[in-house]
Amino acid sequence: MSVQQQAGAGAEALEVWIDQDLCTGDGICAQYAPEVFELDIDGLAYVKSADEELLQDRGATTPVPLPLLTDVIDSAKECPGECIHVRRVSDKVEVYGPDAE
Ligand code: SF4
């Protein structure tokens, strides 16, 4: 089963947010998906908007572009701080990340 099928993608829009309180600042997410994640001058990772503007509010969410879904999921899996959360837009249920079932 592909990642897209697991996520129910095609129909299901996903969004991602970071819990900066747990971010170690190692930058793995920004290496995997630089279009979505970036380190700010405080040394912590933040998500970027669809037009790649850095969203500097803690816990800000951004849509996961389908072509980047695998990179975002890999980021969540590899994140040492376990602080990248990927959830469905429709019901806010986490599908990848520390709170996913
Ligand atoms: S991979 Fe996780 S801990 Fe590392 S910079 Fe990104 S959000 Fe922070």
**How far apart, in whole angstroms, are the C-alpha atoms of residue 29 and residue 11?**
25
The secondary structure of residue 82, as a DSSP letter, is: -
Q: Which atom of ligand 1 is nearest to the CA of 81?
A: 3
- The reply to whether 27 falls in a domain is yes
pLDDT of residue 26: 98
Distance 46 CA to ligand 1 centre (A): 9
For residue 25 and ligand 1, the question of a CB distance below 6 A is answered with yes
Band (pLDDT 50/70/90 cuts) for residue 48 is: very high
- The tokens describing 38, both together, are 């970036």
CB 20 within 8 A of CB 44: yes
34 lines ligand 1 (CB under 6 A): no
Residue at 41 is within a domain: yes
DSSP bridge pairs for 48: 54
Q: Does the Cβ of 45 fall within 6 Å of ligand 1?
A: yes
Query: pTM of this prediction?
Result: 0.90
Give the DSSP letter string of 2-51: -HHHHTTTTT--EEEEE-TTT-----HHHHH-TTTEEE-TTS-EEEB-TT
20 domain residue, yes or no? yes
The answer to whether residue 72 sits within a structural domain is yes
Percentage of the chain beyond pLDDT 90 is: 86
CATH number of the domain encompassing residue 25: 3.30.70.20
- Within-domain flag for 101: no
For the Cβ of 79 lying below 6 angstroms from any atom of ligand 1, the answer is yes
Its domain, for residue 64, covers: 3-96
Q: Is the pLDDT of residue 49 over 70?
A: yes
Beta-ladder partners of 62: 16
User: Hey, whose CA ends up nearest to atom 1 of ligand 1?
Assistant: 79
What pLDDT is recorded for position 9?
46
Q: How far is the CA of 6 from the centre of ligand 1 (A)?
A: 23
Instruction: Report if residue 35 sits inside a domain.
Output: yes
Nearest to 96 by CA among 8, 30, 21: 8
What tokens does 15 get?
Answer: 């969004």
- Residue 39 domain-assigned (yes or no): yes
What mean pLDDT is reported for the chain? Answer: 92
Count of the separate structural domains present in the chain? 1
Given this model, what pLDDT does residue 38 score? Answer: 98
Which range is least confidently modeled, 10-14, 40-44, 94-98? 10-14
In a domain, 53, yes or no: yes
